[in-house]
């Protein structure tokens, strides 16, 4: 009996000690967060005092512009300085960072039940070799946005296939008053390639074969590029070959373009009457299907813990606490309701009655359903999640832009890109 008492006593002591070590001791820990400014991140940055009050963890933000953020983080990692404990990370970099052993897996910090609340495909973007490395702050899928008022007036139905998309764009094209369609034209792995890939996959194409030989220049790739460039050249606004997502958005909100295919969170701006001439006149739908089905684009930016920065156990735990808080249901729902941003990847946010009342089908026809459905349809490997992607993607971007701008045939441009991609895969060692 006495022995049992001792055991209980000792285990209590140990538990308290653990508690003191891990629970209370996080108080006063300061973590540094490298991040970029987005409506989503601005929102939790403003609320950080609440987090500090609850946990005692102090948070310092280092805010960089989008283009510099990666350079600064990589510099910090390579030099071994470790200035940041938490880093904002694009999903396309996760594999690279994980392979270089720069970030911790988050599996031990987040329980399964909590994880099941996120769209599976978004977590897939942050998963490498079975481990989860980041939690999503900002997520998007691509879908079709169209002028519902015009479609209704002319009795046109929403295009469901690539062929119908072509026909609809042709029918609605009436320059210079109205152009049929606009999509990203400017080169870049996250620019034109992002929307072009829906067509590559839709026509049944792939980027690489099993041995990492580039195959995006085969028949499907050529077809996809001819379609993408063709529809934009014939029915797109002038200058579309250098369109960024921002240009796509401005052209649409000016009322001069009938359809666009881009990110679902465009909604916040294109439905804002102070910024958009077409607020309340827009319909949303899944992107059209090719011979090989529908392939919406998917992208996410998440928060990860730096192995170089968070060296001590305390920093690591504090960083994990911060990430869980910043991506929590409360933060993301409040952000959506107060700021009108809709980039959460939490099912509970999308199922929330207040969220559904604000962004429901009555107000924004088709938006909610096509967003949720696209998250289910999407493939995390939409763009290959490999460290070489950025370089390869940029090369493909050049080829696609050349075809849209004119002067090069799809075959010619893609063959060049494939040759360059092969060199890159050889340099990286994936291709022997």
Partner 1 sequence: MFFIALTPFVFSILVSLMDYNLMYSSSPRFVGLRNFVQLIQDERFLNALRNTALFVVSCVSIEFMIGLPLAYLIYISVKKRILRNLIIVLITFPMMFPRVTSGLLWKFLYNPLFSPIGQFFQKVGIPFAPLSDPHTALFAIIFVDIWQWTPFFILILLSGLESLPQDMFEAASIDGANEKQKFWYLALPSLKPICWIAIMFRTIDALRTFDTIYVMTGGGPGIATETLDIYAYLIGISQGGRISYASSAALVLLAISVIVANLLVRFFREGEV
Q: Which is nearer to partner 1, 16 or 174 (CB)?
A: 174
CB of 99 to partner 1, least distance (A): 11
Q: Does 289 bind partner 1 (CB under 8 A)?
A: no
Does the protein bind partner 1 through residue 255 (CB under 8 A)? no
| Residue 80 makes contact with partner 1 by CB under 8 A | no
Give dist(CA 347, CA 246) in Å, integer. Answer: 28
429: contact with partner 1 by CB under 8 A: yes
Q: Is 129 helix (H, G, I), strand (E, B) or coil?
A: coil
Nearer to partner 1, 156 or 178 (CB): 178
Q: Does 246 bind partner 1 (CB under 8 A)?
A: no
Out of 37, 242, 369, 409, name the contact with partner 1 by CB under 8 A. Answer: 242
Q: Where are the alpha helices (DSSP H) in 138-191?
A: 148-154, 162-172
Is residue 106 a contact residue for partner 1 (CB under 8 A)? no
Say if residues 34 and 88 touch (Cβ distance below 8 Å).
yes
Whichever of 91 and 400 has its CB closer to partner 1, that residue is 400
Q: Kindly tell me which of 71 and 330 has the beta carbon lying closer to partner 1.
A: 71
Minimum distance, C-beta of residue 391 to partner 1, in the bound complex (Å): 4
d(CA 382, CA 327): 24
- Classify residue 21 by its DSSP letter: I
- Nearest approach, Cβ of 307 to partner 1 (angstroms)? 17
Q: Does 401 bind partner 1 (CB under 8 A)?
A: yes
Range 138-177, binding partner 1 (CB under 8 A): 176
| Smallest distance, partner 1 to C-beta of residue 237, A | 6
* Residue 65 makes contact with partner 1 by CB under 8 A: no
Is residue 396 part of the contact set for partner 1 (CB under 8 A)? no
Which of 127, 250, 306, 352 is in the footprint of partner 1 by CB under 8 A?
250
Residue 240 found at the interface with partner 1 (CB under 8 A): yes
Please state, in angstroms and rounded to a whole number, the distance separating the CA atoms of residues 377 and 198. 12
Q: Is 390 in the site for partner 1 (CB under 8 A)?
A: yes
On whether the CB atoms of residues 359 and 342 are closer than 8 A, the answer is yes
CA distance 298 to 384: 12
Least separation in angstroms between CB 30 and partner 1 = 30
Asked whether the beta carbons of 347 and 119 are under 8 A apart, the reply is yes
For residue 4, give the H/E element and its range. helix 2-18
Contact 267, 364 (CB under 8 A): yes
Alpha helices in 236-285 (DSSP H): 245-253, 267-270
Rounded distance between C-alpha atoms, residue 32 and residue 280, angstroms: 42
Kindly state whether residue 234 participates in binding partner 1, applying the rule CB under 8 A: no
According to DSSP H, which parts of 219-310 are helical?
A: 219-235, 245-253, 267-270
Instruction: Tell me whether residue 43 or residue 97 sits nearer to partner 1 (CB atom).
Output: 97
Q: How far apart are CA 173 and CA 122, in angstroms?
A: 35
Angle at 203 between CA 197 and CA 205, to 5 degrees: 65
Stretch that binds partner 1, among 79-87, 151-159, 353-361, 382-390 (CB under 8 A): 382-390
Q: Using the rule CB under 8 A, is 387 a contact of partner 1?
A: yes
**Residues 310 to 349: which contact partner 1 by CB under 8 A?**
none
Nearer to partner 1, 201 or 390 (CB): 390
- ∠167-172-177 over CA atoms, to 5°? 150
Q: Which run of H or E residues covers position 325?
A: helix 313-326
Task: Kindly state whether residue 241 participates in binding partner 1, applying the rule CB under 8 A.
Answer: yes
| Bridge partners, residue 305, by sequence | 86
- Work out whether 273 is an interface residue with partner 1 (CB under 8 A): no
How many CA atoms lie within 13 Å of 202's alpha carbon, on the beta-carbon side?
23
Nearer to partner 1, 105 or 387 (CB): 387
Do 298 and 140 meet the contact criterion of CB atoms below 8 Å apart?
yes
| Nearer CB in complex with partner 1: 46/99 | 99
Please give the residue ranges that form the binding site for partner 1 (CB under 8 A). 67, 71, 74, 78, 96, 176, 185-187, 189, 237-242, 250-251, 254, 256, 387-388, 390-391, 394, 398-399, 401-402, 404-408, 413, 416, 424, 427-429
């Amino acid at each position: 009996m006495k022995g049992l008492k001792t055991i209980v006593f000792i285990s209590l002591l140990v538990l308290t000690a653990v508690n003191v070590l891990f629970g209370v001791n996080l108080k006063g820990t300061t973590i540094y967060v490298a991040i970029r400014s987005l409506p989503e991140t601005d929102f939790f940055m403003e609320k950080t005092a609440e987090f500090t009050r609850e946990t005692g963890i102090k948070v310092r933000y280092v805010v960089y512009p989008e283009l510099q953020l990666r350079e600064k983080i990589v510099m910090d990692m390579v030099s071994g300085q470790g200035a940041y404990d938490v880093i904002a990370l694009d999903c396309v970099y996760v594999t690279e960072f994980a392979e270089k052993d720069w970030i911790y897996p988050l599996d031990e910090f987040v329980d399964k039940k909590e994880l099941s609340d996120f769209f599976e495909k978004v977590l897939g973007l942050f998963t490498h070799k079975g481990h989860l490395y980041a939690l999503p702050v900002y997520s998007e899928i691509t879908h079709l946005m169209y002028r519902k008022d015009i479609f209704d007036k002319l009795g046109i139905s929403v295009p469901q296939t690539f062929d119908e998309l072509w026909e609809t764009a042709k029918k609605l094209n009436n320059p210079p008053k109205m152009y049929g369609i606009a999509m990203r034209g400017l080169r870049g792995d996250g620019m034109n390639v992002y929307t072009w890939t829906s067509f590559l996959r839709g026509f049944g194409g792939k980027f690489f074969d099993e041995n990492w030989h580039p195959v995006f220049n085969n028949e499907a790739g050529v077809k996809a590029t001819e379609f993408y460039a063709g529809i934009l050249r014939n029915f797109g606004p002038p200058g579309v070959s250098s369109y960024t997502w921002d240009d796509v958005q401005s052209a649409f909100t000016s009322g001069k373009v009938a359809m666009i295919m881009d990110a679902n969170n465009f909604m916040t701006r294109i439905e804002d009457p102070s910024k958009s001439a077409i607020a309340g006149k827009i319909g949303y739908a899944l992107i059209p299907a090719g011979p090989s089905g529908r392939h919406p684009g998917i992208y996410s930016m998440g928060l990860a813990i730096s192995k170089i920065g968070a060296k001590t156990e305390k920093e690591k735990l504090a960083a994990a606490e911060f990430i869980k808080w910043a991506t929590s249901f409360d933060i993301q729902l409040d952000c959506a309701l107060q700021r009108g941003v809709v980039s959460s990847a939490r099912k509970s946010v999308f199922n929330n009655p207040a969220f559904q009342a604000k962004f429901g089908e009555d107000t924004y026809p088709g938006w909610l359903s096509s967003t949720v459905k696209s998250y289910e349809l999407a493939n995390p490997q939409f763009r290959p999640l490999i460290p070489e992607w950025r370089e390869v993607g940029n090369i493909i971007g050049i080829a696609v832009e050349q075809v849209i701008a004119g002067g090069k045939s799809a075959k010619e441009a893609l063959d060049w890109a494939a040759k360059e991609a092969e060199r890159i895969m050889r340099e990286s060692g994936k291709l022997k």
